[in-house]
Amino acid sequence: MKNNNFTDIKKPVSILNAAVIVAALGYFVDIYDLLLFGIVRTDSLKDLGITGDAIRNQGEYLISMQMFGMLFGGILWGILGDKKGRISVLFGSILIYSVANIANGMVTTVNGYAFWRLIAGIGLAGELGAGITLVTESLPKEKRGYGTMIVASVGVSGAVVAYLVYQIFQDWRLCYYAGGVLGILLLFLRISISESGMFKKVQESEEKRGDFLSLFTNKQRFSKYIQCILIGIPLWFLVGVLITFSPEFAKALGVQGFETIAAGKAIAWCYGGLVFGDIASGLLSQWLKSRKKVMYLFLIFNLIMVFVYLNAFGISASSFYTLCFIMGFSVGYWVLFVTIAAEQFGTNIRATVTTTVPNFVRGSLPLIILIYGFFRDTIFDGNILESAMIVGSILSVISILALWKLNETFHTDLNYSEQESQAFL
């Protein structure tokens, strides 16, 4: 429900304002660190003395620890974003994951690696949600889609840069150090931005802010919140399983020269496609004046590409990487997914939602891996291709049904506050 409209807020009309630029650069460093582990996974674990199948098992463990950190951090930073402000979260989160990045370059054991991936996950959880919230509140509704598109497209290119940095240094520890230094440098840019007018207004009111539990005390609000999470899960299955473990899938598919397939290169190609996908989905949603229509198109395209990928038997290594690029393009709805979450809720709880939703999606990866592992080891006797097709299909159907129940938010005025409710009605 909507109440307490604050109609006197002045919004800048420039798409490339300080909030957009700083949020985009922040998300760039965020994605650099988030995907760096997937890029250096094999080499870093070998350097720590891990060999054979243990590389896959320990890799799944480390990714799960990172995602658990993001799950906890999403709640923490989301609440702080509504209580203390979007800017404070942008400062705090980047400081934590910058320190964790540097520490990651110093680890000597898998358990130490896991601990710092957990801390990095907590820090990484705050960047995207706070940035998108700030941008959506700083631009008029006719232009905010362009602003979030810029943030997402610049941000996801961080994965490509992470791969290129690794190719230059050929040292996974130096790559982590570089990410930490980039984050610390970005802190100085944060000085140039200020809080959104919407947050300042709600801060001056007596509205209860950052009440995470309020998302569960009202049936309509709870349903909307869960639906926002479910529409993004197919993307993280694709990135967290199909792409991150691409060497294993390439081997199962009999890709020519599968021994040369590197997860880091696959991630770079995938995120290269995701950059163009985010731009395409952002522009298309502005032209069609609809978030949902474009989301439907991309969710269906994504499911088609999952089946194409998992049936690409005997293709060349170059064709395999091309598939990774197209798959990345197919999940270019990430910008729409996060924008939809921001547009569904009022100012007093917007940061909480926009921060927790993408992190709950990322944090669902351990559960996705468990489900995928169940099908792989119990139902299909080790067949990773059939297992992935089943899991991918289930997640896609769920996301499409969740999107169907959500309201179109393209023309929504965000200048309102959620009405407090204690009854699950």
* Cα distance between residue 271 and residue 321, in whole Å: 11
* Cα distance between residue 282 and residue 259, in whole Å: 37
What is the CATH number assigned to the segment(s) 12-197+210-418? 1.20.1250.20
Q: β-strand 2-3 against 417-418: which pairing, if any?
A: antiparallel
- pLDDT tens by residue, the chain, 425 residues: 444 444 444 444 577 777 888 888 888 988 898 888 878 888 899 999 888 878 878 887 888 888 888 889 989 999 998 888 888 888 888 889 899 999 999 999 999 999 999 999 999 888 888 888 888 888 887 888 888 899 888 888 888 898 899 989 889 999 999 999 988 888 877 766 777 667 677 767 767 777 888 889 888 899 999 999 999 999 989 998 999 889 999 999 999 998 899 888 898 899 999 999 999 999 999 999 999 999 999 999 999 999 999 999 999 999 999 999 999 999 999 888 989 998 998 888 898 999 999 888 887 888 898 899 999 989 988 899 999 999 999 999 999 999 998 989 888 888 777 765 444 44
Element (H, E) at 2: strand 2-3
pLDDT of the residue at 35:
80
pLDDT of the residue at 101:
92
SS3 109: coil
* Cα distance between residue 100 and residue 95, in whole Å: 9
In the numeric block, the tokens 């997402």 are attached to: 152
Domain parsing of the chain, residue ranges: 12-197+210-418
Amino acid at 4: N
* Cα distance between residue 309 and residue 301, in whole Å: 12
| Backbone phi, psi, residue 114, to 5° | -65, -40
* Cα distance between residue 209 and residue 172, in whole Å: 41
Residues paired with residue 132 on neighbouring β-strands, in sequence order: none
Q: How far is CA 170 from CA 40, 245, 311, in A?
A: 10, 20, 33
* Cα distance between residue 401 and residue 410, in whole Å: 19
Q: Report the length, in residues, of the chain.
A: 425
* Cα distance between residue 101 and residue 105, in whole Å: 7
